């Protein structure tokens, strides 16, 4: 990111705001493993990525927040002394508006500021651009009061509540929690129901995480997501007639005999085995067993394809081409499915050849050209020392 150029642009958009602006950053996120189990009582393993949203910010003395995006239309003008209401015509601006509304309702006295934002997260890729925007806005509005992990947990909860009740998107808390709590070179083992978490070191050595963008919009993910939630609830109800459990991820594979429907049994099998893959991945990462972790990535994708049926032809084509390449230790879809992104663990010396070979095979299968982002794991939302 060209920070001097961003600062110059800030003064073009806010010519009446003097001073040297500060730079804030909220990363995007991927889920390393543990897909579609956050709503089944599971523990997930997300991490931040070194792409995200930057904000050039100058704080104000009055009760006003103004946010302008270099990348999209609309501005967010948020008065802190008047009622804030959802306006569909304002598009993305509703996300920061909802966050500020939540902070005010919680008596957290947000600060006024002017902000120019820009992002290097590809739109519609499933890398949590909306959650990054929410957390970034909350962090700026509360800065510098955020001084503890407890404050960051609150910030994640406030952003999730804003998205649920103001924007009316029924998201979970994984994205906001990862972006708020992220730690450099660590994943987060996160219980999405209790918000208990611990950091898991991710030392990749001579390998890199490569995000592969299918360049295919996730058109089916919303309806399929709702259907899978219902199916998982039905599967759990069958098991609960025989066992005293509260969530599907508490079940064992032996419990699948209690589910008479073939489809429901497949959904439950994914949730149960995916939770075990999360636990195994944590152990593999602790031992720096990247080959073992790569095998678990492959197994996760296969389960998402055959048992949960949320991958789709584009993500399957990406992963199939990735795992053919020498130097790729494993790959799988990440996110809701049916488009968006997949991740691969690739040896550093193989990355350029990996990109070329995957591009060639993927084009032949889909007539689309994928994009690749080689990422590291940074800290969560923060003020950058520039």
Active site residues: 175
* CB 362, CB 368: distance < 8 Å: yes
DSSP string for 184-222: TTEEEEEETTT--EEEEE---TTEEEEEEE-----TTHH
Coil vs helix vs strand at 137: helix
Which pair of tokens denotes residue 112? 């006024």
Please tell me the distance from the alpha carbon of residue 133 to that of residue 149, in angstroms, as a whole number.
Answer: 19
Coil vs helix vs strand at 52: strand
Crossing angle for the helix pair 351-366 and 312-324, to the nearest 10 degrees: 140
Backbone CA torsion sign across 370, 376, 381, 383: negative
Q: How far is CA 177 from CA 3, 92, 109, 154, 334, in A?
A: 27, 20, 21, 9, 17
Phi, psi of 254, deg, nearest 5: -60, -25
Backbone CA torsion sign across 86, 89, 91, 96: negative
Q: How far is CA 115 from CA 11, 25, 78, 109, in A?
A: 10, 12, 12, 18
Please tell me the distance from the alpha carbon of residue 338 to that of residue 326, in angstroms, as a whole number.
Answer: 26
Please tell me the distance from the alpha carbon of residue 122 to that of residue 340, in angstroms, as a whole number.
Answer: 10
Q: How far is CA 265 from CA 130, 210, 226, 294, in A?
A: 33, 33, 17, 26
Instruction: Using the structure block, give the residue that is written with the tokens 């998201």.
Output: 171
């Amino acid at each position: 990111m060209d920070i001097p150029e961003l600062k110059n642009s800030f003064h073009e958009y806010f010519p009446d705001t003097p001073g040297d602006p500060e730079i804030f950053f909220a990363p995007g996120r991927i889920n390393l493993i543990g897909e579609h189990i956050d709503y089944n009582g599971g523990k997930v393993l997300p991490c931040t990525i070194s792409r995200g949203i930057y904000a050039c910010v100058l704080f104000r003395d009055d009760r006003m927040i103004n946010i302008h995006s270099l990348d999209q239309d609309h501005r967010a003008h948020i008065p802190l002394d008047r009622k804030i209401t959802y306006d569909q015509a304002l598009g993305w601006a509703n996300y920061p508006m909802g966050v500020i509304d939540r902070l005010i309702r919680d008596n957290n006295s947000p600060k006024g500021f002017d902000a120019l934002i820009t992002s290097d997260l590809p739109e519609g890729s499933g890398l949590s651009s909306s959650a990054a925007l929410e957390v970034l806005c909350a962090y700026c509005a509360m800065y510098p009061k955020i001084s503890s992990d407890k404050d960051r947990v609150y910030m994640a909860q406030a952003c999730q509540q804003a998205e649920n009740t103001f924007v009316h998107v029924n998201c979970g808390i994984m994205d906001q929690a990862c972006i708020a709590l992220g730690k450099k070179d660590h994943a987060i083992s996160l219980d999405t129901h209790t918000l208990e978490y611990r950091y898991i070191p991710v030392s990749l050595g001579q390998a890199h995480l490569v995000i592969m963008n299918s360049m295919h919009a996730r058109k089916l993910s919303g309806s399929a997501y709702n259907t899978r939630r219902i199916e998982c609830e039905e599967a759990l109800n069958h098991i609960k007639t025989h066992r005293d459990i509260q969530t599907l991820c508490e079940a064992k594979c032996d419990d699948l005999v209690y589910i008479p429907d073939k489809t429901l049994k497949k959904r439950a099998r994914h949730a149960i085995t995916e939770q075990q893959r999360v636990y195994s991945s944590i152990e593999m990462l602790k031992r720096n067993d990247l080959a073992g972790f790569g095998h678990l990535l492959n197994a996760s994708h296969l389960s998402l394809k055959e048992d949960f049926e949320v991958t789709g032809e584009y993500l399957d084509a990406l992963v199939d081409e990735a795992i053919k390449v020498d130097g790729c230790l494993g790959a799988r879809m990440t996110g809701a499915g049916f488009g968006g992104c997949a991740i691969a663990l690739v040896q550093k010396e193989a990355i350029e050849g990996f990109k070329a070979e995957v591009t060639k095979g993927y084009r032949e299968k889909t007539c689309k050209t994928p994009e690749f982002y080689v990422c590291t794991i940074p800290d969560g939302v923060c003020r950058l020392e520039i």
